Amino acid sequence: MTTIFEAGEDFARRLDERDPLGHFRRRFACPHRDGEPVVYFNGNSLGLMPLAARERVGDDLDDWAQLAVDAHFAGKTPWLSYHEVLREPAARLAGALPVEVVMMNGLTVNLHLMMATFFRPTADRHKILIEDGAFPSDTYAAQTQLSLHGIDPVAGLIRVTPRPGEALLRTDDLIELIERRGEEIALVLLPGVQYYTGQFLDIASVTKVARRRGCVAGWDLAHAVGNVPLALHDWDVDFAAWCSYKYLNGGPGAIAGCFVHERHGKNPALQRMGGWWGNDPRTRFRMHEQRDFFPREGADGWQLSNPPILAMAPLRASFALFDEAGIESLRRKSVVLTGYLEWLIAQAPRKRFEVITPQAPGERGCQLSLRILDRPAETLRELEACGVVGDFRPPDVVRVAPVPLYNTFHEVWRFVQMLHRAGLAG
């Protein structure tokens, strides 16, 4: 169903009044400047704090204070199995079986752990397919893994780029490349949603051709989980990893997530980096009596250390909100909210920017990336002076992300007025 938009402020307020998810905004701490709420469109960098996060962290601090080590067994949420509380809500957002998901470490750590298992190069098949514009940490991790196997980190990468003069990757080009060079590719490592352009890649189609050609299909979902619906199990993805401080609102440096398809989780013979929390819990505490590593079945078998409780607590608050709202409902609002922003800025007869994010709603999440045609860094400062919190990515892109869980239609309207005030549109 296509929404017919109007340009006036009253229309934005009516959309908010009719929004069945509008009440969730009151459950987040929203930044203010000079007593006025800012237009916070930076949830693709750091999500806002759920108000309940303070209570969740407080509960664990109280258990630490009152029970100390006994909180591992007797706390409000016992620490020994704390990470398991996050498993099912995380799996719902990833479109996975609960056994396929674990919250642990940071994103790049998880990528290294996954590649330690799934990047097994041979003389003929030893290359990693990655996008040329990948988030730098992904490239660093891939290059490091190549070096660890004695492979030249430059020659070992196949960097896929958009066509000349274009900003986006084409699915057909990705598939053609994998079909043509699949015999030399050991690992396909791509983003679910590209951090710079906001493009939502066709995970299912790329994974299908990669696996058919004998390549491992791994995905960085930092900008996808909590932003777009996913079906990792049904898409037959081999592994995926994501951070939780963006759309998942887990707080700065929040604990990350990892997906390992159940066919791999059931295979104890897979080589992996061993650690005591990945060991079979039936023998985990036998210490010197049981000195060999026996990985636990499922994604849990890739854990290394016991979970950081205070870092996990905010995610409990955020996951509760996602479960209450439902990712499908959030996606429906997101399509309208981002579509409204796109429509409003398209009404300006003159613009100092172009939108490089795909126009089709199914090919993007909630982010629009604006390529500023002149004075990009100064432009962001002008928007910040108007009360916008966005994000500048060199050389010339301002990313704005109206997040459906807490942003409003009136904020979108206000943002476009600020574009006019800053001279970006007129």
Nearest-angstrom CA–CA distance, 260 and 109: 15
pTM (predicted TM-score) = 0.95
Whole-Å CA distances, 103 to 35, 87, 170, 408: 37, 7, 32, 30
Cβ burial, residue 73 (10 Å; 0-12/13-18/19+): exposed
pLDDT at res. 1: 53
Whole-Å CA distances, 394 to 59, 132, 151, 372, 377: 41, 15, 31, 10, 8
Nearest-angstrom CA–CA distance, 366 and 346: 17
Domain covering 58-322: architecture: 3-Layer(aba) Sandwich (3.40)
- Quote the strand ranges of 192-295, DSSP E: 216-220, 239-242, 257-260
Amino acid at 73: F
**Which CATH number does 9-30+327-421 carry?**
3.90.1150.10
Q: Could you tell me the end-to-end alpha-carbon distance of the chain, in angstroms, rounded to an integer?
A: 30
Amino acid at 399: R
- Quote the strand ranges of 115-226, DSSP E: 127-131, 157-160, 185-191, 216-220
Chain center to CA of 202: 15
Chain center to CA of 87: 16
List of long-range contacts for 2-11, beta carbons under 8 Å, 24+ apart: 3/336, 3/339, 3/340, 5/339, 5/340, 5/343, 5/344, 7/344, 7/347, 9/410, 9/413, 11/413
Q: Are 185 and 127 in contact (CB under 8 A)?
A: yes
Tokens representing 339? Answer: 């579509």
Classify 42 as helix, strand or coil. Answer: strand
Q: Are 259 and 101 in contact (CB under 8 A)?
A: yes
Classify 162 as helix, strand or coil. Answer: coil
> Which residues touch 193 (CB under 8 Å, ≥6 apart)?
199, 200, 201, 221, 223, 224, 227, 228, 364, 365, 367
Tokens representing 164? Answer: 């000349």
Tokens representing 109? Answer: 């750590």
Short-list 146, 180, 183, CA closest to 160: 180
Nearest-angstrom CA–CA distance, 422 and 426: 10
Domain ranges within the chain, ordered by starting residue: 9-30+327-421, 58-322
Amino acid at 151: I
Nearest-angstrom CA–CA distance, 407 and 401: 9
Q: Are 299 and 265 in contact (CB under 8 A)?
A: yes
Per-residue pLDDT of the chain (426 residues; tens, 9 = 90+): 568 999 999 999 999 999 999 999 999 999 999 888 999 999 999 999 999 999 999 999 999 999 999 999 999 999 999 999 999 999 999 999 999 999 999 999 999 999 999 999 999 999 999 999 999 999 999 999 999 999 999 999 999 999 999 999 999 999 999 999 999 999 999 999 999 999 999 999 999 999 999 999 999 999 999 999 999 999 999 999 999 999 999 999 999 999 999 999 999 899 999 998 999 888 887 777 778 888 999 999 999 999 999 999 999 999 999 999 999 999 999 999 999 999 999 998 888 899 999 999 999 999 999 999 888 878 878 888 889 998 989 999 999 999 999 999 999 999 999 998 887 787
> Which residues touch 180 (CB under 8 Å, ≥6 apart)?
none
> Which residues pair with residue 354 across a beta bridge?
371
Give me the residue label for tokens 């005591």: 276
Nearest-angstrom CA–CA distance, 77 and 423: 52
